[in-house]
Amino acid sequence: MVSEIIRWQTPLACMRRAAKQDVTLNGQSIKQGDKVVMWYASGNRDERAFEQDPDQFIIDRKNVRKHLSFGFGVHRCMGNRLAELQLRILWEEILKEG
């Protein structure tokens, strides 16, 4: 459930960078120095990565841990496991019977 919450409601909306060199990406020219933005929410709703209706909240979604909410590869957030643990504990406390 926690990973689906993070995928569905991305904690960080976007990241902006400046292009280091001229490049063409999917037919779009990007010049050195142009500002480019990566929208995490868009990547987390990509139907090529999340085949089960990516705009829906599905607790038992397959491959949900492939979300981009904490970045990717060497740029992955070092605190991602702590954030997941905090959410897990929060939901365990909220859902406690008592």
Per residue in 32-82, pLDDT tens? 999 999 887 788 999 998 988 999 999 999 889 888 888 888 888 888 999
Confidence (pLDDT) at 86: 95
Confidence (pLDDT) at 39: 83
Give the domain extent around 80: 2-94
Question: 57: part of which helix (H) or strand (E)?
Answer: none
**Res 98 pLDDT > 70:** no
| Cβ-based neighbours of 69, under 8 Å, separated by 6 or more | 6, 7, 10, 11, 12, 40, 44
Give the global pTM: 0.71
**How many domains, the chain?**
1
